[in-house]
Amino acid sequence: MSAVRVRFAPSPTGELHIGGARTALFNYLFVRKNGGTMVLRIDDTDLERSRSDYIDKLLNVLRWLNLDWDEGPYYQSKRLEVYMEEAERLLAESKAYRCYCSVEDLSAGREAARRENKPYLYPGNCRNLSPEREEALQKEGRVPVLRLFAPDEGTTVVRDLIRGEVNFENALLDDFIIIKSNGLPTYNFASVVDDLKLNITHVIRAEEHLSNTPRQQICAVSLGYNLPQYAHVPMILAPDRSKLSKRHGATSVEEFYSEGYLPEALLNYLALLGWSPGGDEEILPLDTIINRFTLERVNKTAAIYDVNKLTWINSHYMREYDLDKLAEEALPFFQQKNLVNPPLSDQDYEYFKQVIATARERAKTMVELADVSDYFFSEQFVYDEKGVQKHFLKIHSWYRADSLLLKFCHYRSVKEHVNEDII
C-alpha cells in the first residue's frame, strides 16, 4: 500500500461524542497499522456555531485518549482563500456558475415539492444566464452563490471499502452550492478541496456521510483530482435501537472522563463498537487492536451502545492497571471529594496508593473508587442508617451493639493494616 494518509475532521460545534471518538480511533488504528500519516483538520467554517473552547476541549480529549496525530491541526476558517481560488477556477472552466435565485424563489420550489411529496431539486434556473441578464441581476443588488454543474443522467458509483459499491442516480443530484452568498464554502466543497490538497488517501468516517459522497466525488472529478478511498463505519444506536442521546447515559468523551473511566478502557470498548477482532476476546490492549485491525472486519450493521459492558471493561482495567499510574489518574477524583489535598508528602502519597490497592477490587470507576475509599480518610465511623433499621433493629439490642462494634473493628483493622504497610 502506498503512503497512507487519513484525516480526522471534527466540527467544533459541541463536545466530542462517542461516535466521533470512534471515528478518530478507527482512523488511528488504520493509519498505525499501515505506517501512514494521520492529519487533524478542524472543520470550523460554520462561524456562528463554532467555538474556540470546543476546539480546546477536543484537543485535550484526543490527548487524554492518546490518539496522537502527525499533522495539523489545519483550520478551514484559515483556508478560505484556497477554497475561493478553486471555485474561481471551476467558474473559469465553465464547471460552475453564479446563481441569483432568491430565498423566496427557492422556498416556493421546496413547498411545491413538499405538496407533491417529491424531493426538492434545484431546477437550474441560472444555468445558462446571459452576461446581460447577470448584469441586470447584480444591479438589483442580488448576491449570487456558486453552484457546480452536476450530471443529470447516469450513475455515480461510490466504491466503499466496507459496503462495496453503492450507486446513486445522478438525476436525483441537483446543481449543488459550493460557495455561499457570504463567501464561505459549503461542507461538501471545502471537505473535498482539503482532502485533495492534503493528499488524503482514505476517508474513514461515519455512515451518515455516505449520502454526501456522490456530491464530493462529482466535486473531485470536476477539480481534476484522483478520488480518495472511502469507508463508512456503521451507526451507533441506543439499546432500544433508537438514535443515541443523553437519555441513554453519558455520550460525550468528557462525560466518561468526569465519571471516572480510564482512556484504555474507553478505547477498548469503542473498538468493539462495529469492529470484530475475531474470536471471543473482549479485553484487548491498544497494540493488539492495531495489529488485528482491518476495514474488512468492520461491520455493516449498526453497533449497539451498552454502557454496562463499558463499565465492566473499565473495572477490569482498574484491577490490572499499574498502581502508580492508577493513583495519578485517581488523584483528581479523591481531591473532588476533599479526601486529599495535593501536593501530598511522600508518606501521604504511599498511604494514598495503598488505599487504592486495597479498594480498587470493589470499584468499577474512579468515582466509585473515591466513594468506597472514604473511610480511609476519616476518623469517624460512618454507617448506613437504613441498613441498621433493616438488619439490626429486629434482633436483641446486645447482639446489635456487638455486630456494629465488630463491623467497626473490622474497618479499623483494615485501616491500621494499610498504615502498617507504608511504615
Nearest to 163 by CA among 213, 125, 129, 117: 213
Is 246 catalytic? The answer is yes
Nine-digit cell at 197? 490538497
Cis peptide before 73 (omega within 30 of 0): yes
Question: What's the chain's length in residues?
Answer: 423
Q: In what order do the strands lie in the sheet with 71-75?
A: 71-75, 37-42, 5-8, 202-206, 229-233, 155-160, 164-169
Cis peptide before 343 (omega within 30 of 0): yes
User: Using alpha carbons only, what angle is made at residue 386 by residues 382 and 392, rounded to the nearest 5 degrees?
Assistant: 90
Q: Which of 78, 243, 246, 390 is catalytic?
A: 246
- Neighbouring C-beta atoms of residue 140, cutoff 10 Å: 8
Q: H/E element holding 324?
A: helix 323-336
- Residues whose CB falls within 8 Å of the CB of residue 356, separated by 6 or more in sequence, listed in order: 323, 326, 327, 330, 369, 373
Give the helix ranges, DSSP H, for 68-186.
80-92, 103-115, 131-139
For the annotated catalytic residues, the residue numbers are 246
